[in-house]
Copies of this chain bind each other. A is one copy, B any other.
């Protein structure tokens, strides 16, 4: 029993100083209603004076509750996540929870390892864009409170950024602008977000009678966007909807590099609205709310932890934000 850090003040010390039993001292914090007011006050005063604070481990060992939660993201460097993390963080702090952050590097195996390491140390999980197979998530969720962000699994609490409606708007806008051939720059096909957006583009295009070519990009990145411009033009499309803003941003750069003008020569629409108006031209995008999804997931999780049965599925409406990267069609090849 390696004694802990420095001269930590324990509950026993506090109780002795206050001339009460440990039970009473403990209750002064956990069930003050059971203790005489003046006693409570005396103990609390003494606690501050002596610098006492409860040992979370000891408490957790005895209660089984940790007041910690875990947030797992596939890539903290992807601009979609920082605002989400920020909200979870802020909300957790308000509720008196601390948060473990795990970065799975987009790999299911790592995600699993992170979850296992954290499992016993938290009261619940928020899994953002989880890459784990559904069975594993189900198994986890029935054992410990778990909320998914942008992953759809029946029976598991989840918060979904419903980009579909916004993507429809995007397709309709392009159609209205005379774009009869467009492209969808796809994200990781294993993600719910891509599946949903892809379906929305395809569905919307069919309804509006526009032709769409899907270009697979793999890991969504600025470079991938920049480099796909050649094949993009080759499809004969006059406009593109990208899986996310990062890709769209790259596309913007790609066009600029070859001397083509967006939106005059080609229209581009992104998703997520995480770059705000910081691109040139300002990116027209489907705004869903990275931050909002974080906030929603957190409150759902807190509800779950407190034994409530929150809405199992929360859909956050997304809508198209018109900025400057879309204009009427005009054939760029001559």
Interface residues of A (CB under 8 A from B): 1-6, 53, 55-58, 60-66, 68, 71, 75-77, 79, 81-83, 85-86, 89-90, 93, 98-103, 105, 110, 113-114, 116-121, 143-144, 222, 249-250, 252-253, 256, 276-278, 280
Contacts and interface: CB of A to CB of B under 8 A. Distances in A.
Contact of A278 (B63, B249, B277): B249
A89 B77 CA distance: 12
Contact of A64 (B3, B102, B117, B278): B3
A280 B278 contact: no
A53 B119 CA distance: 10
Given A98-B118, A103-B89, A114-B93, A2 B64 contact: yes
A199 to B, nearest CB: 29
A222 B275 CA distance: 11
A85 B105 contact: no
A11 to B, nearest CB: 13
14 contacts: A5-B144, A57-B60, A57-B120, A76-B76, A93-B114, A93-B117, A98-B100, A98-B121, A99-B101, A100-B101, A249-B278, A253-B277, A253-B280, A280-B280
Contacts of A98: 100, 102, 114, 117-118, 121
A86 B2 CA distance: 32
Given A99-B101, A143-B5, A222 B276 contact: yes
A66 to B, nearest CB: 7
Contact of A85 (B61, B93, B101, B113): B101
A75 B90 CA distance: 11
A55 B256 contact: no
A93 to B, nearest CB: 7
Contacts of A222: 276, 278
B6 A53 contact: no
> Among the interface residues A90, A103, A143, A280, which one has the most CB atoms of the partner chain B within 10 A?
A103
